[in-house]
């Protein structure tokens, strides 16, 4: 016998237990109809968790009656269980059960549970007032759903709160789970009490799992000690129709569509001055029925604005907190939300609204400074005491956890770069030629590609090595506002070893838009959603973004200035064509990432980007080489202006470099600001240049492709070190020069 019995022994209770045996029988009949297998489970007993599986009604009744009152709780699975689990404990109760029913053990979803409870500290029973308030709320929700055309549910006293139970018939899969979860969110949004309300009755939003258990009706619930204020109670069947009619999927969808996500995605929230009633009148929408419920008013439309044949199946729901949703459960209307309705009824509303909001913001900034919240700051000593974690690199020095954007002009080789990252991570090999990376799974959404083209590319990159395991490729994915985020979330749930997700490109996954003003908002929403997924799973998401029009010379300025892409991203990479010894540069910057720029070379044989070193260093050596070459070819004394004209470069920058070169003894100065190559300047070694090609032609007309010159490896390491030092000096001069200040990296030479 368990200890709990001592807290519950009176004649009155014995009488009640007797009466409840009828409820136990009715409840078991309900859940075990059609030969369904159920689990009875009693946690927190003296003998651990007691559990058993039943398909024999009489035995189940016998055991439930025996357990009732002798254990704290008797629970039952509401949905039918895989019959094979009978073999764990068939039609009997086993002590110290290790295994209980999991979501995957459920064969079908047969019941939709709405669970109402008063907010209270854990581990205690409800007061009578709380108990009654929960039951009252259940009746209100039952009325609401009846109004929505739902059938009569079962109504139960769960001993501390109330249950409504509707019959459904859905497969046990992700889609059903999401649907039930959304339905509970809608009910919660419509009916849960405000924070200040006492007692505060809440709709439990977590009871959507397939293996959900409820207290077996007719059994005692013995939470904590029974006190007059918070007594133990018997759970009861309050009303149960002879047969529960099945709720259609349409009705479930309709309920699910009423929900408006309040914080993460402020979709469907209108400004304070938006008046839905006026809007409905102005646009001649016929309302069939209006009814106010606890937290919202529901407008049932006479016909669906998207398709008149949909009849009275569409609703606008206006929540008291400002949220508005629209939904119509017909297949053709899936995805038609409140924004879609406004797009349909009043095209261009978004642009007008943004303009108004902007005006309003300006006004409120001028008038009511009190309302502007001061951002979080810190003192210098606080800052010094703060320890910042190093970014967690997926590819050391290049790609860290969180959301990164890879931007650059089309056809520059961004996709090759992605493929290089993906193969390196999936194989645990080297990225960019020499950066060792840890092996992890990779998801590559190559949304601009076809399988055929990808295979060809992958074959080039892999050469003779086998394709790495754990490299998943999709050419198709839903847009972020149409379930793409959920797809990603679900995929990651089942691939815990994934560390890198590449999305090629942003335009292919964000909400389709034709409004110029809308792009920023849509980008931001998409990026924010992706970032929260990256943070949730501790992975890197790399988002590829084409810069179609180069409005600014500085791509960083372009993407942060015009589209605000960087707002939600953790890091930003810009791939840019380079003139000179490197083919391209990869500029990397971010919140916790030190700003770097790497010089890259494209290996045309294996179509792979390799890192050469610091981009600035490569650029400077190239610029030095060009100046020395001009002087060498001219064999005459030249002014900085003459050199800059040949090179088509900024004269000030050329002058600076000439001074440095002279300081290093590579060139000589004559009179006031004229230069020539002295005998001591053996340029053929120092400038890393070869003799191939016509050099004078090359310096006047800069090559578009990689110049034909000796690879950098041929340069002696000592000389290279020497160059690095001189480069550092030149850079310092450049940074202090007002004329060049404000130019992006490398732009001073273009």
Binding residues for Zn ion, rule: CB under 5 A, are 304, 306-307, 310, 328, 330, 333
CB of residue 296 vs Zn ion: minimum separation in angstroms? 20
Cα torsion angle, 423, 427, 433, 435, sign: positive
Instruction: Determine the Cα–Cα distance for residues 154 and 133; give it in Å rounded to an integer.
Output: 18
Three-state secondary structure along 627-689?
HHHHHHHHCCCECHHHHHHHHCCCHHHHHHHHHHHHHCCCCEEECCCEEECCCCCCHHHHCCC
Q: Which is nearer to Zn ion, 80 or 305 (CB)?
A: 305
In sequence order, which ranges of 257-398 are alpha helices (DSSP H)?
276-282, 338-345, 349-367, 380-385
**Using an 8 Å Cβ cutoff, are 134 and 116 in contact?**
yes
Instruction: Determine the Cα–Cα distance for residues 444 and 399; give it in Å rounded to an integer.
Output: 15
Q: Which is nearer to Zn ion, 333 or 653 (CB)?
A: 333
CB of residue 331 vs Zn ion: minimum separation in angstroms? 9
β pairing state of 38-45 and 48-54: antiparallel
- Picking from 549, 672, 531, the residue whose alpha carbon sits closest to that of residue 590 is 531
Surface-to-core class of residue 452, CB atoms within 10 Å of its CB (0-12 exposed, 13-18 middle, 19+ buried)? exposed
Three-state secondary structure along 555-616?
HHHHHHHCCCHHHCCCEEEEEEECCCCCCEEEEEEECCCCCEEEEEEEECCCCEEEEEEEHH
CB of residue 61 vs Zn ion: minimum separation in angstroms? 47
Instruction: Determine the Cα–Cα distance for residues 162 and 184; give it in Å rounded to an integer.
Output: 15
CB of residue 171 vs Zn ion: minimum separation in angstroms? 25
CB of residue 515 vs Zn ion: minimum separation in angstroms? 23
CB of residue 285 vs Zn ion: minimum separation in angstroms? 13
Query: Where are any strands of DSSP class E within 55-181?
Result: 75-77, 108-118, 154-157, 162-171
Instruction: Determine the Cα–Cα distance for residues 305 and 278; give it in Å rounded to an integer.
Output: 17
Q: Which is nearer to Zn ion, 306 or 491 (CB)?
A: 306
Query: Where are any strands of DSSP class E within 13-74?
Result: 38-45, 48-54
CB of residue 342 vs Zn ion: minimum separation in angstroms? 15
Q: What is the largest CA-CA distance in the chain?
A: 119
3-class DSSP assignment, residue 240: coil
- Name every residue whose Cβ is closer than 8 Å to that of residue 264 and which is 6 or more positions away in sequence: 529, 532
CB of residue 314 vs Zn ion: minimum separation in angstroms? 5
CB of residue 328 vs Zn ion: minimum separation in angstroms? 3
Instruction: Determine the Cα–Cα distance for residues 306 and 284; give it in Å rounded to an integer.
Output: 14
- Name every residue whose Cβ is closer than 8 Å to that of residue 95 and which is 6 or more positions away in sequence: 45, 47, 48, 50
- Picking from 93, 95, 108, 251, the residue whose alpha carbon sits closest to that of residue 183 is 251
Q: Which is nearer to Zn ion, 233 or 330 (CB)?
A: 330
Q: Which is nearer to Zn ion, 330 or 414 (CB)?
A: 330
- Name every residue whose Cβ is closer than 8 Å to that of residue 168 and which is 6 or more positions away in sequence: 109, 110, 111, 112, 246, 247, 252
C-alpha distances out from residue 586 to 462, 481, 595, 605, 748, Å: 23, 31, 11, 21, 17
| Residue 165, both tokens | 């139970």
**Using an 8 Å Cβ cutoff, are 500 and 443 in contact?**
yes
CB of residue 316 vs Zn ion: minimum separation in angstroms? 12
CB of residue 173 vs Zn ion: minimum separation in angstroms? 25
In sequence order, what are the beta bridge partners of 90?
A: 53
CB of residue 293 vs Zn ion: minimum separation in angstroms? 22
CB of residue 304 vs Zn ion: minimum separation in angstroms? 3
CB of residue 610 vs Zn ion: minimum separation in angstroms? 55
CB of residue 203 vs Zn ion: minimum separation in angstroms? 27
CB of residue 258 vs Zn ion: minimum separation in angstroms? 14
Q: Which is nearer to Zn ion, 250 or 449 (CB)?
A: 250
CB of residue 300 vs Zn ion: minimum separation in angstroms? 12
Q: Which is nearer to Zn ion, 261 or 307 (CB)?
A: 307
Counting Cα atoms < 13 Å in the Cβ hemisphere of 229 gives 2
**Using an 8 Å Cβ cutoff, are 595 and 588 in contact?**
yes
3-class DSSP assignment, residue 149: coil
Instruction: Determine the Cα–Cα distance for residues 444 and 451; give it in Å rounded to an integer.
Output: 12
Residue with the two structure tokens 């070869």: 690
H or E segment and range at residue 326: strand 324-328
Q: Which is nearer to Zn ion, 334 or 532 (CB)?
A: 334
Cα torsion angle, 72, 78, 80, 82, sign: negative
CB of residue 350 vs Zn ion: minimum separation in angstroms? 21
- Name every residue whose Cβ is closer than 8 Å to that of residue 410 and which is 6 or more positions away in sequence: 546, 548
Long-range own/partner contacts, residues 701-706 (CB < 8 A, 24 or more apart): 702/579, 702/648, 703/579, 706/583, 706/601, 706/602
Q: Which is nearer to Zn ion, 307 or 535 (CB)?
A: 307
């Amino acid at each position: 016998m368990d200890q709990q019995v001592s807290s519950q022994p009176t004649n009155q209770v014995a009488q009640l237990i007797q009466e409840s045996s009828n409820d136990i029988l009715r409840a078991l009949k309900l859940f075990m109809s059609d030969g369904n297998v159920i689990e009875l489970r009693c946690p927190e007993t003296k003998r651990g968790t007691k559990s058993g599986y039943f398909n024999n009604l009489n035995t189940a009744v016998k055991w439930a009656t025996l357990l009732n009152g002798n254990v704290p709780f008797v629970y039952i699975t509401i949905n039918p269980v895989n019959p094979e689990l009978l073999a764990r404990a068939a039609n009997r109760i086993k002590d110290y059960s290790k295994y209980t029913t999991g979501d995957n053990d459920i064969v079908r979803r047969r019941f939709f549970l709405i669970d109402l409870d008063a907010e209270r500290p854990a581990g205690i029973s409800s007061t009578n007032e709380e108990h009654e308030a929960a039951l009252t709320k259940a009746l209100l929700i039952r009325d609401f759903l009846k109004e929505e055309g739902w059938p009569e549910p079962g109504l139960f006293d769960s001993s501390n709160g109330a249950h409504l139970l509707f019959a459904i018939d859905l497969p046990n899969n992700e889609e059903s789970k999401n649907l039930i979860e959304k339905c509970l969110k809608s009910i919660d949004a419509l009916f849960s009490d405000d924070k200040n309300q006492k007692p505060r009755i809440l709709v439990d939003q977590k009871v959507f799992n397939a293996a959900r258990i409820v207290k077996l009706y007719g059994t005692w619930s013995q939470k904590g000690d029974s006190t007059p204020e918070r007594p133990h109670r018997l759970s009861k069947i309050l009303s149960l129709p002879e047969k529960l009619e099945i709720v259609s999927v349409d009705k479930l969808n309709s309920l699910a569509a009423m929900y408006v996500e309040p914080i993460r995605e402020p979709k469907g929230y209108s400004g304070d001055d938006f008046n839905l009633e006026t809007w409905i009148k102005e646009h001649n929408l016929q309302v069939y029925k209006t009814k106010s419920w606890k937290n919202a008013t529901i407008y049932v439309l006479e016909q669906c604005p998207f398709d008149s044949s949909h009849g009275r199946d569409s609703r606008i729901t206006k929540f008291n907190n400002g949220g508005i949703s629209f939904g119509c459960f017909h297949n053709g209307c899936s995805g038609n939300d409140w924004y879609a309705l406004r797009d349909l009824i009043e095209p261009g509303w978004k642009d007008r609204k943004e303009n108004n909001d902007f005006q309003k913001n300006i006004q409120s900034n001028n008038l009511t400074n009190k309302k502007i919240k001061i951002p979080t700051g810190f003192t210098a000593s606080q800052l010094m005491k703060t320890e910042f974690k190093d970014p967690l690199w997926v590819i050391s020095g290049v790609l860290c956890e969180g959301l990164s954007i890879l931007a650059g002009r089309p056809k520059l080789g961004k996709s090759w770069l992605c493929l290089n990252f993906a193969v390196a991570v999936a194989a645990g090999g080297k990225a960019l030629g020499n950066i060792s990376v840890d092996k992890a799974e990779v998801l590559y959404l190559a949304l601009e590609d076809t399988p055929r083209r990808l295979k060809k590319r992958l074959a080039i990159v892999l050469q003779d090595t086998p394709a790495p395991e754990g490299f998943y490729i999709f050419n198709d994915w839903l847009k972020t506002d149409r379930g793409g985020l959920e797809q990603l979330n679900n995929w990651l749930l089942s691939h815990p070893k994934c560390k890198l997700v590449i999305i090629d490109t942003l335009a292919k996954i964000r909400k389709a838009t034709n409004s110029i003003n809308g792009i920023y908002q849509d980008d931001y929403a998409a990026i924010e959603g992706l970032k929260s997924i990256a943070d949730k799973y501790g992975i890197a998401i790399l988002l590829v973004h084409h810069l179609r029009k180069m409005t600014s010379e500085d791509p960083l300025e372009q993407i942060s200035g015009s589209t605000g892409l960087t707002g939600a991203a953790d890091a930003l990479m810009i791939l840019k064509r380079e003139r000179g010894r490197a083919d391209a540069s990869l500029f990397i910057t971010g919140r916790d990432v030190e700003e770097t720029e790497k010089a890259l070379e494209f290996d045309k044989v294996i179509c792979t980007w390799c890192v050469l070193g610091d981009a600035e260093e490569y650029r400077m050596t190239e610029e030095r080489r060009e100046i020395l070459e001009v002087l060498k070819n001219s064999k005459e004394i030249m002014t900085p202006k003459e050199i800059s004209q040949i090179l088509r470069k900024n004269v000030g920058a050329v002058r600076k470099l000439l001074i440095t070169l002279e300081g290093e003894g590579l060139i000589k100065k004559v009179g006031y600001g004229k230069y020539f190559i002295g005998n001591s300047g053996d340029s053929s070694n120092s400038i890393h240049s070869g003799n191939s090609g016509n050099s004078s032609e090359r310096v006047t007309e800069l090559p578009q492709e990689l110049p034909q010159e000796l690879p950098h490896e041929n340069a002696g390491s000592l000389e290279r070190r020497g160059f690095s030092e001189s480069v550092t000096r030149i850079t310092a001069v450049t940074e202090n020069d007002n004329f060049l200040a404000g130019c992006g990296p490398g732009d001073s030479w273009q």
